[in-house]
Amino acid sequence: MAGHTDNQIRIEAPFQLVWDITNDVPNWPNLFTEYAATEVVSEGGDTITFRLTMFPDDNGVSWSWVSERTRYLDEKRTHSHRVETGPFEYMNLDWHYEEVEGGVILRWVQDFHMKDTAPVDDGWMVDNINKNSAVQLRVIKDKIEKAYHSRRASDHRTVSIHDCPADHRRGGTIQTLLSPRTVGSTSGFMGGATLRPGEAIAEHYHPYSEEFVFCIRGELEADVDDEVVPVPAGTAILVPKETRHRLRNVGTEDVFAVFHLGPLAPRPELGHVDTETREEAAAVAAKILAAREKQS
């Protein structure tokens, strides 16, 4: 019999920032809400040995133990184990960092076995760890995302597209630069969209916002409701709110366009309504290109 837990959360911040903050063991009392103190016992290379002390529990007991943690940056993971096992026969903890669109999925996998003399069994500890992990992962997510957006907003309110997470969920590459989360804007948000030849951004509409699109490079075409509107380089288009629209690259080079939406929706999740999938949009674009090539 052994205990096993597997918990994860998505953090909307760059990998390196997530890695640096979560591996700053001496700062863990400021990152977690359950640790009262961290004492580094020894450190060499990518391995650190440290003592963790928790805040007193409901019975006034303050648990403390020594653990060893090794970082594997190339593999985007860490491995830890308790040196002082206490009530455990063994306790191993692996953290996995998976880079995804717009952020990182932080995953905690724990394998352990309680001693026969322990006051609780493996099943009890599994439930306890799952419950506590959900709380602590949420705390870590909030603190890292606040740190990320605070750093970006304090940088003279300028944001580089090279530092922005890429979003491919709706087709193409969409990067939001200026927004309430990045610079504290209150009237709208702005970003850039890159479409390779044949790529399309899936049809959608904005219930609360007008969208302004300026094509800087390439041959962009917009399907606005049922009307096809050419938007070549040097041209801009206004898409009224509540208007279905799809963007397509109909040329032979990459399209790069700047977009701005305003005013803001009451809540971010209300600002964008999808009316087709990325795959459906790509199929429409391919069909149109095939028909035009046949005509020519």
Q: What is the reported pLDDT for 73?
A: 95
Q: Confidence class of residue 153 from pLDDT cuts 50, 70 and 90?
A: low
Q: Confidence class of residue 156 from pLDDT cuts 50, 70 and 90?
A: low
Q: pLDDT tens digit string along 256-291?
A: 999 999 999 988 888 999 999 999 998 988 888 888
Q: How far apart are CA 256 and CA 216, in angstroms?
A: 6
Amino acid at 30: N
Q: What is the reported pLDDT for 289?
A: 81
Percent of the chain predicted with pLDDT > 70: 97
Q: pLDDT tens digit string along 158-217?
A: 788 887 888 899 999 999 999 887 777 888 999 999 999 999 999 999 999 999 999 999
Looking at domain 3-154, what is its CATH homologous superfamily? START domain (3.30.530.20)
Mean pLDDT, the chain, whole residue set: 92
Amino acid at 151: R
Three-state SS sequence of 109-171: EEEEEECCCCCCCHHHHHHHHHHHHHHHHHHHHHHHHHHHHHHHHHCCCCCCHHHCCCECCCC
Beta strands in 15-87 (DSSP E): 35-44, 47-54, 64-72, 77-82
pTM above 0.85, yes or no: no
CATH 3.30.530.20 positions along the chain are: 3-154
Is 70 exceeded by the pLDDT of residue 1?
A: no
Is 70 exceeded by the pLDDT of residue 152?
A: no
In whole angstroms, how far apart are CA 88 and each of 53, 55, 93, 121?
A: 16, 20, 13, 10
Q: What is the reported pLDDT for 41?
A: 96
Q: If 0-12 CB within 10 Å is exposed, 13-18 middle and 19+ buried, where does residue 164 land? A: buried
Q: What is the reported pLDDT for 165?
A: 83
CATH 2.60.120.10 positions along the chain are: 161-295
Q: What is the DSSP string of 6-28?
A: EEEEEE-S-HHHHHHHHT-GGGH
Q: Which helix (H) or strand (E) holds 30?
A: helix 28-31
Fold of domain 161-295: Jelly Rolls (2.60.120)
Phi, psi of 169 (to 5 degrees): -60, -35
